[in-house]
Each structure stands twice: as C-alpha cells, then as structure tokens.
C-alpha cells in the first residue's frame, strides 16, 4: 500500500506530486521515480468508479464544442452548483473558459461510442450524434441519463487542470436508467439488481 502523497513518512516524498525538491531532476532515476508516482497516483484514482459525461458549449464562432469528462461532481443544492475540470493543455480550454453557458450530458450505458468520439482531439465530435438545442442554443446530446444546463459561474486553477464551477439553470432526467460507468481504465456496466 502506498502512503499518502503528502505524508512525511512516504519513501517517495522526494518524487511526490509536487515534484522532487531535494533531488537533481535532471537524472533519469529521479524522472523515472516521479513518473512512477504519477502513474501509481492515476491508477489509484482509477479505483474510484465514476460516471461519464460530455460537456458541450458553443465556441466564440458559434460552432458546437464538446469534451468527455469524468471529473464531474455536485457541490451545492442551494444554490444548485456543480464542478468539473479540464486539462490546461486541452485545445478546448479557452472556448469553455469563455463560454457563457455549457451543458453536462450524463452518458447512458449504450453511449460508449459518444464518449470515445468526444475524448479524441479531432474536431468531428458531433458527426452522427443526435442533439437538440438547450439553453442559449448549447447542444444537448439525445439519449442521455441526465442533463445539467449551467452558467459559467467561476473558474479556479487546480494544478494541471482548470476547475469550473457551474450554476445549474435547468436540468432533466432522461428515460434511460443505466449510466455509463468508468473504472480502472475501462467502461463498466452496473450489475442488475438481484431479487
């Protein structure tokens, strides 16, 4: 079992997420140790099963944009707030940062292909994806488990990601009951209820 990343007792403290403060970062050993800690951290995070969402918005030119995100959480019921994060090196970061509104589309179990499409860095995400217009014409993906239409309330730096806080303006649940689940680097299905 790996100790907490910020634990002083951790043998990997010098190669923790914050970086190796007392070791020469130019050595291959240090880089390899740090990279191993990053991989182990990512794998440990993968132990937490999440739903899969596609965030959609309109770019400055009015064209639709979207990206697959599993870092989606509720924050508050009053007011209704959610959060999600996007990598700072994402080619869609500026568009989402500047968007006035965006939508969280919670994918259904049969929408793996939608997740895969929006996860790539190409620009053809909306090919063969059925959408309808939501708040401020932001695209809503048909066939989802739920939708949250949000105003872009605030953004906060979060390491190599930007954290978005959204104020939910409208929401709806779909007719599909089973969500798409991601765990340990793979899509999963919920086990049917017994009895």
CATH code: domain of residue 123: 2.30.110.10
Q: Is the pLDDT of residue 190 over 80?
A: no
Which pTM was predicted? 0.77
| Domain with 122 in it | 50-184
List C-alpha distances in Å: 42 to 45, 83, 85, 109, 171.
5, 20, 15, 24, 31
Antiparallel, parallel or unpaired: β 181-183 and 50-51: antiparallel
pLDDT of residue 34: 74
Please indicate, yes or no, whether residues 62 and 32 belong to a single structural domain of this protein. no
pLDDT of residue 108: 95
Q: Are 64 and 127 in contact (CB under 8 A)?
A: no
Separation of alpha carbons 179 and 145, rounded Å: 6
Strands (E), the chain: 50-51, 53-58, 64-69, 72-76, 81-87, 101-106, 131-133, 139-141, 146-158, 161-173, 181-183, 186-188
Please indicate, yes or no, whether residues 116 and 130 belong to a single structural domain of this protein. yes
What percent of the chain is predicted at pLDDT more than 70?
Answer: 74
Please indicate, yes or no, whether residues 32 and 89 belong to a single structural domain of this protein. no
Please indicate, yes or no, whether residues 135 and 95 belong to a single structural domain of this protein. yes
What percent of the chain is predicted at pLDDT more than 90?
Answer: 56
List C-alpha distances in Å: 48 to 61, 62, 160, 185.
37, 36, 20, 10
Q: Are 168 and 148 in contact (CB under 8 A)?
A: yes
Please indicate, yes or no, whether residues 138 and 78 belong to a single structural domain of this protein. yes
Task: Give mean pLDDT, residues 96-105.
Answer: 97
Per-residue pLDDT tens over the stretch 150-174: 999 999 999 999 999 999 999 999 9
Question: Which residue, among 46, 52, 14, has the nearest Cα to 31 in the 3D structure?
Answer: 14
Per-residue pLDDT tens over the stretch 120-146: 877 667 888 999 999 999 999 999 999
Please indicate, yes or no, whether residues 41 and 54 belong to a single structural domain of this protein. no
The pair of structure tokens assigned to 172 is 């709806």
Please indicate, yes or no, whether residues 85 and 25 belong to a single structural domain of this protein. no
How many structural domains does the chain have? 2
Please indicate, yes or no, whether residues 72 and 126 belong to a single structural domain of this protein. yes
Average pLDDT of every residue of the chain = 80
Whether residue 194 is contained in a domain is answered as: no
Question: Which residue, among 68, 38, 67, 64, has the nearest Cα to 51 in the 3D structure?
Answer: 68
């Amino acid at each position: 079992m790996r100790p907490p990343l910020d634990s002083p007792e951790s043998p990997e403290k010098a190669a923790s997420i914050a970086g190796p403060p007392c070791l020469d970062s130019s050595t291959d050993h240090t880089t390899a140790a740090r990279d191993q800690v990053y991989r182990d951290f990512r794998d440990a995070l993968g132990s937490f099963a999440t739903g899969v969402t596609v965030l959609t918005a309109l770019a400055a030119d009015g064209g639709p944009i979207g990206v697959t995100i599993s870092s989606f959480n509720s924050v508050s019921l009053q007011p209704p707030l959610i959060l999600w994060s996007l990598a700072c090196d994402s080619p869609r970061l500026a568009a989402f940062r500047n968007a006035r509104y965006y939508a969280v589309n919670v994918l259904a179990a049969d929408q793996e292909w939608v997740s895969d499409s929006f996860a790539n860095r190409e620009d053809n995400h909306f090919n063969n994806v059925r959408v309808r217009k939501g708040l401020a014409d932001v695209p809503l993906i048909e066939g989802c488990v739920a939708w949250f239409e949000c105003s872009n309330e605030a953004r906060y730096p979060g390491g190599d990601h930007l954290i978005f806080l959204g104020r939910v303006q409208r929401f709806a649940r779909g007719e599909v009951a089973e969500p798409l689940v991601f765990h340990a680097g793979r899509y999963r299905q919920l086990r049917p209820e017994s009895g």
